[in-house]
Amino acid sequence: MFLRILLSVFALTSVVQCQIKPCCYPDQWEAVEGILAGSMNDEGDTAITNAYIQIAYDAKEQRVYGEETATTGSLTKQYTFLQLYNESVQYTIVNKTCTRSKLAPWNNQNCIPANASFVSQYRLGLNQSIMVSDFSYNTGTVSNVVTVTNDMCVPVVTQRTGNINGVEVMLSAGVQGITAGIKDPSVFNVPDICKSGKVIDDKEMKKSWTFAREVKHKLGFH
């Protein structure tokens, strides 16, 4: 009898795990995103960046707004960014100066790719624990592991490692204080200071960004 029960439990667990598939994040949410990013080039030069972003994420209208503080070594930088994917444009404000740049297509970035592999599921927390699942996939030369909640596919942690333009990078981003919806949709309005901004190409844009945001953009992570 005990063996029969054990086999039944094992079979049920296997079925549940097989049913876990890649999913899409909630359409609209706000949160604080904490990022630890590191890099090393061919010459052995290294950089480590800690960043915090107050972010508003709207997959329905394909737009993202964020206020970021990033520290690399002794340098701390604060700036605001607005990404409007339907218009293929990003605005970045640093020290009351706005830069307008071209933006890559949305490409369903709010969804874990359909070809991602299910890795494992487990509980986070103690008395009020939640079930989460890990998925892994590759984007070019970058390896990704994404952790989301089982019930609503809420993003928890993303870890990425790989090579971008000859630079080895590592990024770990965690989401905290997440809430559903957008409290103030006006954050997606183009600021007056940006309505006459200069359009720059990716090479120029790369020079103006902090490392953390550059890596996130190149890897398509939010």
Stretch 99-107: mean pLDDT, rounded?
88
What backbone phi and psi angles, to 5 degrees, belong to 27?
Answer: -65, -40
Q: Which domain holds residue 141?
A: 20-219
CATH number of residue 124's parent domain: 2.50.20.30
Residue 21 and residue 35 in contact, taking contact as beta carbons nearer than 8 Å? no
How many independent structural domains does the chain possess? 1
Each as own residue / partner, the long-range contacts of residues 38-42 (CB below 8 Å, 24 or more positions apart, any chain) are 38/169, 38/170, 38/171, 39/167, 39/168, 39/169, 39/170, 39/211, 39/215, 40/167, 40/168, 41/166, 41/167, 41/168, 42/166
Give the residue, 187 or 9, on which the prediction is more confident: 187
Q: Would you say residue 149 lies in a domain? A: yes
What backbone phi and psi angles, to 5 degrees, belong to 182?
Answer: -120, 115
Q: What is the pLDDT of residues 162-196, one digit of tens each?
A: 988 788 889 999 999 999 999 999 999 998 888 86
Q: Would you say residue 125 lies in a domain? A: yes
Q: Would you say residue 3 lies in a domain? A: no
- Quote the pLDDT of residue 152: 95
Q: Would you say residue 146 lies in a domain? A: yes
What backbone phi and psi angles, to 5 degrees, belong to 202?
Answer: -60, -35
- Quote the pLDDT of residue 212: 45
Q: Would you say residue 106 lies in a domain? A: yes
Residue 33 and residue 221 in contact, taking contact as beta carbons nearer than 8 Å? no
Q: Would you say residue 13 lies in a domain? A: no
Q: What is the pLDDT of residues 187-214, one digit of tens each?
A: 999 988 888 655 555 444 443 334 444 4
Q: Would you say residue 78 lies in a domain? A: yes
